[in-house]
Amino acid sequence: MLPGALNDLGNTSIVGLQWGDEGKGKIVDLLTEEFDLAVRWNGGSNAGHSVKVGDKKYAFHLIPSGILRPDCISVIANGVVIDPLKLLEEIDQLITQGVKIEDNLRVSTNAHVVLPYHKLQDQLGEQKAAGAKIGTTGRGIGPCYADKANRSTAIRLVDLLDDARLKEKLPRIVAEKNVIFRALYNADPLDWQPMFEQYRSCGEQLRPFITDTTKLLHDAWHAKKRILFEGANAVLLDLDHGTFPFVTSSNCGTGLSVGTGLPGRAVNSTLGVVKAYSTRVGSGPFPTEQDNATGNLIRERGHEYGTTTGRPRRCGWIDAVALRYTAAITGATGLCIMLLDVLSGFDELKICTAYSIRGATTDWFGSDALELAQAQPVYESLPGWTEDITKATSYNDLPPNAKKYLDTLERHIGVPVRIVSVGPARHQTLTK
């Protein structure tokens, strides 16, 4: 199924180059037919990756989309923050859908655990932020990563496997959280005891999957197994390189070594996944946003509603300034242009090639959110196409104006297009 045209990739990192939901899940599902391992290394259940196979639809939050391939081992590595309740729910759901999990999933002992107080803090914090909301998914991601950095208030998966370790930590941490939550939000105290019982039970249920994934990955690398890395979230949401503070709490395009324990040279190629237009969920600057009939049309045609929260996604034209930046940050060696079919039927398509900020033109994406909020996009306008492209079986089937759109993007971003997606199904994928 995987076209020979992609045989040169080697160990490959898949990263989103926009604000998430670019179609990473589809690409991971597609490529893992030819890989031995699929590895998630950042974020948590804030991610939502939808994959369509035949008439079945799968939604992934923590488990790599490679799990649909029976010959591929899916690894959740140390850099991911894991909500065990969500992970168990996801495992159950996939088993119900007939997916083989038992021998195919490994989860890192060192992954940090999202606990109820993280989700509570995330939600109460956002409520209190009123006008300054980040628009988080409410999944406790930020507070969990904060506790990881804080160390003394952190719990890792390995702690759930040992009652003594968990009992040493949980009562102390919950007591500390209760003081803070009472003072900040006038919240009722949480009881550590039922939490202890619930999470030790989660540990027991997850025990068969929990292992030292760093060793597993090094062994696999040295045995020349083919490894695919599934990035979650996206570079414009990266904690360091995104539009701070409107970002998530992990490094999404840049933290692969930290999140897996493998050195950078274990990765041979980086495929940047890009929607043929732009979307964003939550708050923050979005220079090419079309908060108008064009944006509404893109949302309806692209079914742009979140996999994780169901929120309508903000929609707009593609932004080559942002993409040049995120391709540079990640060192992307190739692009996957997704959802091209959604643009069929527009008379005119626009590509943002520069910003005008207070009268000065720039083609560099400065990630400062306040500056970006003032950026006026400078567009190159291209003619659209009316043909239905969802049945295209090769790149050459695409209408001339669609090819022109892709060539123009390639020229502005400076990275070759390797894959073009014209529908959610596996077969609706073209290579260039």
Question: Which residues would be at the binding site for Mg ion (CB under 5 A)?
Answer: 21, 48, 307
Q: Provide the phi-psi class of 270: left if phi over 0, else alpha when psi is between -120 and 50, else beta.
A: beta
Instruction: Name which of Mg ion, ligand GDP, ligand IMO, none residue 422 binds, using a CB cut-off of 5 to 8 Å depending on partner kind.
Output: ligand GDP
Alpha-carbon span 155 to 202, nearest angstrom: 13
- Residues 19, 278: contact at Cβ < 8 Å? yes
Torsion sign over Cα 294, 300, 303, 308? positive
Alpha-carbon span 392 to 21, nearest angstrom: 23
Alpha-carbon span 325 to 241, nearest angstrom: 10
Can you point out the beta strands (E) in 3-86? Answer: 12-16, 37-40, 49-53, 56-60, 73-76, 81-82
Say what the alpha-carbon torsion angle 173, 179, 180, 183 is, to the nearest 10 degrees. 170
Alpha-carbon span 17 to 73, nearest angstrom: 25
Instruction: Give 105 or 232: the residue with its C-beta nearer to ligand GDP.
Output: 232
**Least Å from the CB of residue 238 to ligand IMO:** 10
188 burial level (CB within 10 Å; 0-12, 13-18, 19+): exposed
Alpha-carbon span 127 to 349, nearest angstrom: 38
394 burial level (CB within 10 Å; 0-12, 13-18, 19+): exposed
219 is catalytic: no
Query: Cis bond leading into 245, ω under 30°?
Result: yes
**Least Å from the CB of residue 126 to ligand GDP:** 21
Residue among 68, 237, 298, 338 that touches ligand IMO (CB under 6 A) = 237
Task: Give the three-state DSSP class for 429.
Answer: strand
**Least Å from the CB of residue 29 to ligand GDP:** 9
Give me the catalytic one of 29, 49, 61, 147.
49
Instruction: Name which of ligand IMO, ligand GDP, Mg ion, none residue 147 binds, using a CB cut-off of 5 to 8 Å depending on partner kind.
Output: none
Residues numbered 278-317 forming contacts with ligand GDP, rule: CB under 6 A: 307
103 is catalytic: no
**Least Å from the CB of residue 68 to ligand GDP:** 13
**Least Å from the CB of residue 171 to Mg ion:** 36
Q: Which stretch binds ligand GDP (CB under 6 A): 14-22, 90-98, 172-180, 242-250?
A: 14-22
Residues numbered 376-405 forming contacts with ligand IMO, rule: CB under 6 A: none
Residue 367 within binding range of ligand IMO, rule CB under 6 A: no
Question: What x-and-dash track marks residues 265-294 binding ligand IMO by CB under 6 A?
Answer: ----------------xx------------
Residue 339 within binding range of ligand GDP, rule CB under 6 A: yes
Instruction: Give 185 or 305: the residue with its C-beta nearer to ligand IMO.
Output: 305
- Residues 76, 111: contact at Cβ < 8 Å? yes
Alpha-carbon span 269 to 237, nearest angstrom: 21
Q: Which stretch binds ligand IMO (CB under 6 A): 128-136, 155-163, 364-372, 401-409?
A: 128-136
Residue among 18, 25, 46, 148 that touches ligand GDP (CB under 6 A) = 25
Alpha-carbon span 103 to 182, nearest angstrom: 44
Q: Which residue has the tokens 């929607």?
A: 275
Q: Which stretch binds ligand IMO (CB under 6 A): 63-71, 154-162, 173-181, 228-236?
A: 228-236
Torsion sign over Cα 116, 119, 122, 126? negative
Tokens of 46: 């804030």
**Least Å from the CB of residue 109 to ligand GDP:** 27
**Least Å from the CB of residue 98 to ligand GDP:** 19
Residue 251 within binding range of ligand IMO, rule CB under 6 A: no
Residue 13 within binding range of ligand GDP, rule CB under 6 A: no
Instruction: Name which of Mg ion, ligand IMO, ligand GDP, none residue 142 binds, using a CB cut-off of 5 to 8 Å depending on partner kind.
Output: ligand IMO
Residue 424 within binding range of ligand GDP, rule CB under 6 A: yes
Task: Give the binding site for ligand IMO (CB under 6 A).
Answer: 16, 19-21, 46-49, 134-137, 139, 141-142, 232-234, 237, 248-249, 281-282
Task: Give the binding site for ligand GDP (CB under 6 A).
Answer: 16, 20-26, 48-50, 52, 307, 338-339, 341-342, 421-424
Active site residues: 21, 49
